[in-house]
Amino acid sequence: MCTVIDGRQVMVCDVSRDRVTAAVREHVGDAVRIETVHYEGTRYTCDDPASVEAFQSAVSRALGWPEGTFEATPGP
């Protein structure tokens, strides 16, 4: 399961990690920080405000989400 933390962060499960990493590296480059969070997945953070739209689009495409659906996942 993938969880959108906010407009510039997403937590991705191990199954999707390689696909998302390739997409963000190709479309956003070094503007994205990738961190392994043990027992939770991989967190992707877009540090460049000018690249947020490209980041959201790359993640959405990699995960098969429709464009424009990158919204924070409701918490508990």
* pLDDT at residue 47, as a whole number: 95
Its pTM stands at 0.89
Split at pLDDT 50, 70, 90, the class of 75 is low
- Rg (alpha carbons) of the chain, rounded to whole number: 11
The SS3 assignment for 34 reads: strand
- The single-letter code of the amino acid at 53 is E
Give yes or no for a contact between 10 and 44, defined as CB atoms under 8 angstroms apart: yes
Q: What is the per-residue pLDDT for 76?
A: 56
| CATH 3.30.70 given to domain 3-63 | yes
At residue 74, the pLDDT reads: 66
Residue extents of the structural domains in the chain: 3-63
Beta-carbon contacts of residue 41 (< 8 Å; ≥ 6 apart): 2, 11, 12, 13, 14, 17
pLDDT tens track for 6-49: 999 999 998 999 999 999 999 999 999 999 999 999 999 999 99
